[in-house]
Amino acid sequence: MDTIPAVGLTTTEAPFIEQAKTEGKLYIQQPYELYSPENHEAWKKLYHRIIPRWQKYANEHFLRGIDSLCLNSGAVPRLDDVNRFLKPLTGFKAKAVSGYVPAFLFFDCLRNREFPTTITIRRSDKLDYLPEPDIFHDVAGHVPMHTDKAFAETLVRFGESAHTAAELVSGIGDERRRIRTLTSIIKAMARFFWFTVEFGLMRGADGLRVYGSGLLSSYGEIEHAVESPEVQRYPIQLEWAVNQAFEIDHYQPLLFIVESFDHLFDLVGRLERWMKSGKLNNVAPGEPAVNEQDLKSFLEAGPRT
């Protein structure tokens, strides 16, 4: 059996993270000195091997973002350094977290231009195995997108719609109906997020390009998403995406294409209008599961500030 190292910030093996969770701390500092040589090695390997695939498959907004963030390719980046370049561009910043962020809190962070960011990194001998998000997914996959103004505004708008959802369900008197409605709306929002921010494709002058962070941070899947004849790729239809279940443990067999980030922004507006009209109250059952923490986070949501 593998031994758990006393130091290091390796995914699922980091004592610092376990301690933070035990103490109930969700928002944390990035204790940079705890990264082990193996952690830095993992970052370096992940970064170097994916560069040619980004050149070939990533959309231009992402590639510009990578340049403007001046990410260190040789070692795990410091979030303070990343934020120094990011914040002046769109107001966004990466905010270190100890683990899973319940849905409402996550979306509300986006509204406040904060991106909950995992600070651990996968093992250097298992680069393709990802039991949960890590800093490579979050910082190399998501954060470069936050340098783009139109994309950043879309995330903020999406965060706004979480408040709309919380307000809507707070007006439902019957508790069972309130939970059922909320479960359906969270499911619809999670599916939208998955098929766009995590796994979206965009049409460009030179063909399909990737803008979803789950693809941008996966050496194998970024190529598969664009090249494989087995993947179904369709222009996004909101009514389809919000009713479409997905599984997280294999390459995605179905991906949706947007025309631009203005298109994506408009879709978020429509998602919110559908929410208000009740159209998201009974979306198709299936993945993703909505857990107690997600529900509680919406039910306890405070007013917009």
The binding site for Fe ion (CB under 5 A) comprises 213
- Give the 3-state secondary structure of residue 256: strand
Distance CA 182, CA 172 (A): 10
CB of 198 to Fe ion, least distance (A): 5
Q: Which is nearer to Fe ion, 213 or 252 (CB)?
A: 213
Distance between start and end Cα atoms, the chain: 49
Q: Which is nearer to Fe ion, 36 or 213 (CB)?
A: 213
Q: Which is nearer to Fe ion, 114 or 169 (CB)?
A: 114
Q: State the Cα torsion 277-279-282-288 to the nearest 10°.
A: -110
**Which residue do the tokens 């809507």 mark?**
168
CB of 288 to Fe ion, least distance (A): 13
CB of 135 to Fe ion, least distance (A): 11
User: By Cβ distance, which residue is nearest to Fe ion?
Assistant: 213
Whether the CB-CB separation of 86 and 143 falls below 8 Å is answered with yes
Number of H helices, E strands in the chain: 13, 6
CB of 173 to Fe ion, least distance (A): 36
Q: Which is nearer to Fe ion, 213 or 218 (CB)?
A: 213
CB of 45 to Fe ion, least distance (A): 20
CB of 285 to Fe ion, least distance (A): 24
Q: Which is nearer to Fe ion, 36 or 77 (CB)?
A: 77
Distance CA 258, CA 249 (A): 24
Q: Which is nearer to Fe ion, 181 or 198 (CB)?
A: 198
Based on the number of CB atoms within 10 Å of its own CB, is 288 exposed (0-12), middle (13-18) or buried (19 or more)?
A: middle
